[in-house]
A and B are shown apart, each in its own frame.
Chain A
Amino acid sequence: MNGVKIRVRVGAEQYALPVEHVHEVVDLGELTPVPGAADSVLGLHNLNGEIVPAFDLARILRIEPDGHRSELDRSKIGQPRLLVTDCDGRRAALAVDEVIDVGPLAGTLQESESPHLLGSTVIDGSMVGVLAVDALFDSLASEDG
Chain B
Amino acid sequence: MAAADVPVELVQIFREETAEHLDGMDACLLAVEAGQASDQTTDALFRHAHSIKGGAGMVGLREAGAIANAIEDVLERARASGFLSPQLTEPLLRATDALRHAVAGEHGVALAVVQALAISASASAPPPQRAPPAANVTPTESGTPANGGAPLEGAPLEHQTVEPQHRAVEHRKAGGDAQKNDVTRFRSIRVAADSVDRVLDTVSETVLHHRRLEHMLDGAPCAADEAIEQEVDRGERLLNELQETVLELRMVPLSSITGPLPRAARDLAAAEGKQVDLEITGAETQLDRVLLDGMSEAINHLLRNAIAHGIEPPDVRERAGKPRRGSLELHAEPRGGQVAIEVRDDGGGVAPDALAEGVRRGSLVDVLAEAGFSTAEGVSEIAGRGVGLDAVKRQVESVGGSLAIDTEPGGGTSTTLLLPATLALLRVLVVKRGGQRFGLPLASVTEVIAVERVMVLGGRSSILVGEESLPLSDLAPVIGMVAPDLPELSRALVVEATNGRLAVACEEAIVEQEVVVQPLGRSLAGVSGYLGAAILGDGAVVLVLDPAYLVRRAPRASAAIRVGAAAALRARQAPKILVVDDQFTVRELQRSILRAAGYRVEVACDGREALDALGAKADFDIVVTDLQMPEMDGLALLGAIRADPDRSSLPVIVVTSRGSDEDRKRGAQAGADAYIVKDEFDQQALLEAVKRLVGAQ
Of the 9-residue stretches B290-298, B315-323, B520-528, which lies at the interface with chain A?
B520-528
Assembled-state Cα–Cα distance A50/B529 (Å): 20
Say yes or no: B543 contacts A44, CB within 8 Å: yes
Residues of chain A within 8 A of B136, CB atoms compared: none
Known: A46-B535, A137-B523, A141-B525. A32 touches B436 (CB 8 A): yes
> Quick check: is A129 within 8 A (CB to CB) of the other chain?
no
> Quick check: is A123 within 8 A (CB to CB) of the other chain?
no
Residues of chain B within 8 A of A45, CB atoms compared: 541
CB distance from A123 to the nearest CB of B (A): 30
CB distance from B397 to the nearest CB of A (A): 15
Say yes or no: A36 contacts B541, CB within 8 Å: no
Residue in contact with A44 in the complex, picked from B208, B476, B533, CB distance below 8 Å: B533
Say yes or no: A92 contacts B523, CB within 8 Å: yes
Closest to A90 in B: B522
Known: A44-B543, A46-B540, A46-B541. A36 touches B523 (CB 8 A): no
> Quick check: is A107 within 8 A (CB to CB) of the other chain?
no
Say yes or no: A51 contacts B527, CB within 8 Å: no
Residues of chain B within 8 A of A35, CB atoms compared: 436, 476, 479-482, 529, 543
> Quick check: is A144 within 8 A (CB to CB) of the other chain?
yes
CB distance from B379 to the nearest CB of A (A): 30
Closest to A55 in B: B523
Say yes or no: A51 contacts B518, CB within 8 Å: yes
CB distance from B63 to the nearest CB of A (A): 37
Provide the A44-79 mask, 1 if CB < 8 A to any CB of B, else 0: 111001110101000000000000000000000000
Say yes or no: B481 contacts A49, CB within 8 Å: no
CB distance from B529 to the nearest CB of A (A): 5
Say yes or no: A53 contacts B524, CB within 8 Å: yes
CB distance from B210 to the nearest CB of A (A): 13
Say yes or no: A32 contacts B527, CB within 8 Å: no
CB distance from A33 to the nearest CB of B (A): 6
Residue in contact with B521 in the complex, picked from A53, A143, A144, CB distance below 8 Å: A53
Residues of chain A within 8 A of B521, CB atoms compared: 53, 90-92
CB distance from B208 to the nearest CB of A (A): 7
Say yes or no: B522 contacts A32, CB within 8 Å: no
Residue in contact with B436 in the complex, picked from A33, A46, A50, CB distance below 8 Å: A33
Assembled-state Cα–Cα distance A145/B539 (Å): 27
Residues of chain A within 8 A of B522, CB atoms compared: 90, 141
CB distance from B435 to the nearest CB of A (A): 10
> Quick check: is B542 within 8 A (CB to CB) of the other chain?
yes
> Quick check: is A34 within 8 A (CB to CB) of the other chain?
yes
Assembled-state Cα–Cα distance A36/B522 (Å): 16
Residue in contact with A145 in the complex, picked from B476, B480, B520, CB distance below 8 Å: B480
Say yes or no: A36 contacts B479, CB within 8 Å: yes
> Quick check: is A30 within 8 A (CB to CB) of the other chain?
yes
Residues of chain A within 8 A of B540, CB atoms compared: 30, 32, 46
Question: What total count of A-B pairs have CB within 8 Å?
Answer: 79
Which A residues, 79 to 108, have Cβ-Cβ distances below 8 Å to chain B?
A: 90-92
Say yes or no: B535 contacts A34, CB within 8 Å: no
Provide the B204-244 mask, 1 if CB < 8 A to any CB of A, else 0: 01001000000000000000000000000000000000000
Residues of chain B within 8 A of A144, CB atoms compared: 524-527
Say yes or no: A34 contacts B543, CB within 8 Å: yes
Say yes or no: A51 contacts B541, CB within 8 Å: yes
CB distance from A142 to the nearest CB of B (A): 8
Residues of chain A within 8 A of B520, CB atoms compared: 34, 44, 51, 53
Assembled-state Cα–Cα distance A45/B521 (Å): 13
Say yes or no: B523 contacts A32, CB within 8 Å: no
Say yes or no: A49 contacts B527, CB within 8 Å: no
CB distance from A91 to the nearest CB of B (A): 7
Residues of chain B within 8 A of A137, CB atoms compared: 523
Residue among B205, B521, B524 having the largest count of chain A Cβ atoms under 10 Å: B524
Known: A45-B541, A46-B539, A46-B540. A37 touches B208 (CB 8 A): no
Residues of chain B within 8 A of A51, CB atoms compared: 518, 520, 533-535, 541
CB distance from A35 to the nearest CB of B (A): 3
Residue among A34, A50, A144 having the largest count of chain B Cβ atoms under 10 Å: A34
Say yes or no: B541 contacts A140, CB within 8 Å: no
Closest to B481 in A: A35
Residues of chain B within 8 A of A30, CB atoms compared: 540
Assembled-state Cα–Cα distance A90/B524 (Å): 11
Closest to B205 in A: A49
Assembled-state Cα–Cα distance A50/B479 (Å): 24
Residue among B208, B518, B521 having the largest count of chain A Cβ atoms under 10 Å: B521
Assembled-state Cα–Cα distance A50/B522 (Å): 15
Assembled-state Cα–Cα distance A50/B516 (Å): 11
CB distance from B300 to the nearest CB of A (A): 28
CB distance from B604 to the nearest CB of A (A): 46
Say yes or no: B535 contacts A41, CB within 8 Å: no
CB distance from A27 to the nearest CB of B (A): 14
Closest to B527 in A: A37
Closest to B549 in A: A36
Assembled-state Cα–Cα distance A33/B535 (Å): 14
CB distance from B541 to the nearest CB of A (A): 4
Residues of chain A within 8 A of B476, CB atoms compared: 35
Provide the B53-70 mask, 1 if CB < 8 A to any CB of A, else 0: 000000000000000000
Say yes or no: B523 contacts A44, CB within 8 Å: no
Residues of chain B within 8 A of A140, CB atoms compared: 523
Say yes or no: A34 contacts B208, CB within 8 Å: no
Assembled-state Cα–Cα distance A35/B524 (Å): 12
Closest to B477 in A: A35
Say yes or no: A37 contacts B524, CB within 8 Å: yes
Say yes or no: A32 contacts B526, CB within 8 Å: no
Closest to A33 in B: B436
Provide the B531-555 mask, 1 if CB < 8 A to any CB of A, else 0: 0011100011111000000000000
Residues of chain B within 8 A of A143, CB atoms compared: 526
Residues of chain A within 8 A of B534, CB atoms compared: 51
Say yes or no: B524 contacts A41, CB within 8 Å: yes
Provide the A10-45 mask, 1 if CB < 8 A to any CB of B, else 0: 000000000000000000001011111110010111
Assembled-state Cα–Cα distance A96/B667 (Å): 53
Known: A36-B527, A140-B523. A49 touches B480 (CB 8 A): no
Residues of chain A within 8 A of B525, CB atoms compared: 141, 144
16 additional contacts (CB under 8 A) given A34-B530, A38-B526: A32-B543, A34-B527, A36-B480, A41-B524, A41-B527, A44-B520, A44-B533, A46-B539, A51-B520, A90-B522, A91-B521, A141-B523, A141-B526, A144-B527, A145-B480, A145-B527
Closest 7 A/B residue pairs (Cβ): A144-B526, A35-B481, A36-B480, A32-B541, A140-B523, A44-B541, A35-B479
Complex A-B: 6 CB contacts under 8 Å? A35-B543, A44-B541, A45-B541, A49-B535, A53-B524, A140-B523
Q: B residues within 8 Å of A by Cβ? A: 205, 208, 436, 476, 479-482, 518, 520-530, 533-535, 539-543
